[in-house]
Amino acid sequence: MTLEQIKMPQLGESVTEGTIEKWLVKPGDHVNKYDALAEVNTDKVTAEVPSSFTGVIKELIANEGDTLAVGEIVCTIETEGGSTEEIVEVVEAAPEQPTAETVKPAEVQKNAAPINREKGAKARYSPAVLKLSQEHGIDLTLVDGTGNEGRITRKDLLKIIESGEIPVAKQEEPKVEQTQATPQAQPSAAPKTALVNVPVAVGDIEIPVTGIRKAIAANMLRSKHEAPHAWTMIEVDVTSLVQYRDSIKNEFKQKEGFNVTYFAFFVKAVSQALKEFPMMNSMWAGDKIVQKKDINISIAVATEDALFVPVIKNADDKTIKGIAREVNELAGKVRSGKLKSDEMQGGTFTVNNTGSFGSVQSMGIINYPQAAILQVESIVKRPVIMDGGMIAARDMVNLCLSLDHRVLDGLVAGRFLARVKEILENITKENTSVY
C-alpha cells in the first residue's frame, strides 16, 4: 500500500488558490481515478477536484471553507500498486518556497508555508488566512484554530474580526515583511478592506457572502487597485448590420437550431481588429508586457449571484456562425452549472454584452491580467444628421473601452476602436457572410 497526496489543481488561468466548498468523500471511502472528491470555488469557476488515484481516502487535510494555494495538499489516499499515476494535466506542482531574504509580502500570501507558532504547534496558514491576518493586524500565534489539528481557518479569523477582540500583532515585524523588492518586481500592496458597522433594522435582510462572490470581489478590487484604468467611448452606426442580421435570423435559427445574435458580429469585428492592433491583445507582467499570439475572447455571462467569464478560443479564425454557436453553448453551460475549468482559461481580451440589459454607457473593470475590456452597449434608434444635412433615424450603439494605461495609450486604443467601428459600419448583406 502507498500513501499518496491529492493537491489543489489549477482551475483557471491566473487562479492561485481555491476554497473547499464541499467534500464529496470522507475517510474510508473507496474512490476510482477521476472520481470527484470535492467542490471548489475560485474567482473564475466552481469545479470539482478529481482523484488522481484509485484507492481509499485516508485523511481530509483541508476543511470545508478552507482556502488553499494551487499545489497544496487537500487530502491523502491509500493506493495499491499500479494505480499511482497522477492526473498531471490538472494538478500543478506546489511552487518552490522562496527564502526569507528574497520573499516579498505578496508571496507570503500566495504560498501557504508551514509556520512555527510560539505555542509550539506547527501550523499551515492558507493564503486567505495570511491575507486576513495582515489586513487586520491579527497575530496568528495568539489564535486558537478550530480546523484539522488546530489549524487556523478563515472562519476563525472572521469570527474574531466580527467580535472586535483582535489579538494585536507584536511590535517586531518579521524580516520577510521588511524586505524590499526591486521597483519593477514589487507588486502593489492590496488595499485594506475596512469592516463597516452597518446598522441592521427590523425588516432588513442580511445576505451571507458566498465564497465565489468573495472571490469575485477580491479579483475586481485587485484589478482596480493595480491597473490604472482609462476609459474611452465611440459611437457606431450599425443600421446596415441590424438590417442584415434581421433579414437572416429566422432562416438561420430554423437551419442551425440557435440564434445568430448581434453580439456575434461584434465579437468577430473585435477579433479582426485585434489582429491588426496586436498591442491591444497584451498583458502586464511587472517588468515586461506580454503580447499574446492567440486571440481568445473572454465573454461575461451572469447568473443570479455570480459572474463567469468563459473564453472563445481563437475567435479570429471562427466565422460569425461559429462564434454565435460558442456564445450560445458557453452561456448554456454557465447557467446549467456545467462549465468546465478549461473553458475559463486563456482569455486575452474581454467583450461584455452590457447592452443585453439596456445599458447605453458603462465603464467596465478590466478582467485582470488582460489589458482591456470592451462594453457593447444597447443598440438604439436615434436621429442622426447625414451627409447633406438630412436627418434620419439610425441604429446606433456605443462601444465603451476600459484600458490598462500601463500597457496601452490613447493613440493605439483610439485607432483600435476606429477600426472596429469601420468593420461594423461596413457589414452588409452583399459583403458579409455568417458562414
Tell me the per-residue pLDDT of 112-157, one tens digit each, with 9 for 90 and over: 344 344 443 445 566 567 767 776 778 888 888 877 667 787 778 7
Do 225 and 330 share a structural domain? yes
Same domain flag for 71 and 143: no
| Among the listed residues 281, 245, 236, the one whose alpha carbon sits nearest the alpha carbon of residue 264 | 245
Q: Domain span at residue 32? A: 2-79
* pLDDT recorded at residue 337: 82
Range 68-74 average pLDDT = 88
Domain count for the chain, please give it: 3
Q: Which of 150, 178, 206 is the last residue of a domain?
A: 178
Q: Which of 79, 95, 115 is the last residue of a domain?
A: 79
Residues 65 and 113 in one domain: no
| pLDDT number for residue 174 | 41
Examine the domain organization and report whether 29 and 142 are in the same domain. no
Q: What is the pLDDT of residues 191-239, one digit of tens each?
A: 555 556 788 899 999 888 877 777 778 878 889 888 999 999 999 999 9
Closest C-alpha among 230, 266, 207, 251 to residue 398: 266
Residue 152: the pLDDT is 82
More confident residue, 208 or 382: 382
Instruction: Tell me, yes or no, if 405 is annotated catalytic.
Output: yes
CATH number of domain containing 136 = 4.10.320.10
Q: Does 246 share its domain with 343? A: yes
What is the pLDDT, as a whole number, of residue 149?
Answer: 63
Does the model's pTM come out above 0.85? no
Out of 246, 294, 317, 409, pick the active-site residue. Answer: 409
> Which stretch of 31-40, 44-53, 202-211, 289-298 has the lowest confidence by average pLDDT?
44-53
Is 206 within a domain? no
148 close to 90: Cβ distance less than 8 angstroms: no
Instruction: Report the C-alpha gap between 265 and 281 in whole angstroms.
Output: 19
From the CA atom positions of the chain, what is the Rg in Å? 25
**Pair 353, 286 in one domain:** yes
User: Is 91 domain-assigned?
Assistant: no
Cα–Cα distance measured from residue 371 to residue 348, given in angstroms and rounded to the nearest whole number:
8
- Domain of 62: which CATH number? 2.40.50.100
Instruction: Tell me, yes or no, whether 199 lies in a domain.
Output: no
Query: According to the 3-state scheme, what is the secondary structure of the chain?
Result: CEEEEEECCCCCCCCCEEEEEEECCCCCCEECCCCEEEEEECCCCEEEEECCCCEEEEEECCCCCCEEECCCEEEEEEECCCCCCCCCCCCCCCCCCCCCCCCCHHHHHHCCCEEECCCCCEEECCHHHHHHHHHCCECHHHCCCCCHHHCCCHHHHHHHHHHCCCCECCCCCCHHHHCCCCCCCCCCCCCCCCCCCCCCCCCCCCCCCCHHHHHHHHHHHHHHHHCCEEEEEEEEECHHHHHHHHHHHHHHHHHHCCCCCHHHHHHHHHHHHHHHCHHHHEEECCCCEEECCCCCEEECEECCCCEECCEECCHHHCCHHHHHHHHHHHHHHHHHCCCCHHHHCCCCEEEECHHHHCCCCCCCCCCCCECEEEEECCCEEEEEECCCCCEEEEEEEEEEEEEECCCCCHHHHHHHHHHHHHHHHCCCCCCCCCC
Residue 211: alpha-carbon gap to chain centroid: 13
Instruction: Put residue 352 in one of left, alpha, beta given phi > 0 → left and psi -120 to 50 → alpha.
Output: beta
Q: Tell me which of 29, 139, 342, 405 is the catalytic residue.
A: 405
Tell which of 61, 79, 97 closes a domain: 79
Q: Is 409 a catalytic residue?
A: yes
Q: Does residue 97 lie in a domain region?
A: no
Give 390's pLDDT tier (boundaries 50, 70, 90). Answer: very high
Residue 15 lies in a domain: yes
Residue 205 covered by a domain: no
Q: Do 283 and 413 lie in a common domain?
A: yes
Closest CA to 375 of 365, 389, 384: 365
- Co-location of 267 and 174 in the same domain: no
The residue assigned the cell 508551514 is 114
User: Do residues 329 and 384 both lie within one domain?
Assistant: yes
Do 133 and 35 share a domain, yes or no? no
Q: Does 372 share its domain with 324?
A: yes
- Report the mean per-residue pLDDT for the chain: 81
Looking at the structure, tell me whether residues 297 and 352 fall in a common domain. Answer: yes
Closest CA to 37 of 75, 88, 93: 75
User: Would residue 188 count as lying in a domain?
Assistant: no
- Is residue 95 in some structural domain? no
Distance in angstroms between the alpha carbons of the first and the last residue of the chain: 57
248: domain CATH number is 3.30.559.10
